[in-house]
Amino acid sequence: MAKITNYIPEPKEEYDVDNQRQIMESLNTMKQQLNFSFQQDLKNELDTFNYFLSWVYNIKMHLRY
């Protein structure tokens, strides 16, 4: 499960370009963190599945003889 920590600034009452840039940068950072952690979760899941398959294959080979 992805765990991210990110601070998103509160918007100001009046439009402020710098404030909007900070919000957009914070949202982009969050997007990158989620994309990276999702791909890492997929890799971990695939590694676990491959380990399980190799274990099953080894058991099957030992039972065969």
Q: Distance of CA 40 to CAs 27, 30, 31, Å?
A: 20, 15, 14
Q: How far apart are CA 39 and CA 33, in angstroms?
A: 10
The half-sphere exposure of 9 on its side-chain side, counting CA atoms within 13 A, is: 14
In this predicted model, which residue has the larger pLDDT, 58 or 21?
A: 21
Q: How far apart are CA 27 and CA 20, in angstroms?
A: 11
- Contacts for 4 with CB less than 8 Å, ≥ 6 apart: 30, 33, 34, 37
pLDDT tops 90 at residue 18: yes
Query: Given pLDDT bands bounded at 50, 70 and 90, which one contains residue 49?
Result: very high
pLDDT tops 70 at residue 2: no
Query: Given pLDDT bands bounded at 50, 70 and 90, which one contains residue 5?
Result: confident
Mean pLDDT throughout 48-57?
89
Average confidence score pLDDT of the chain: 86
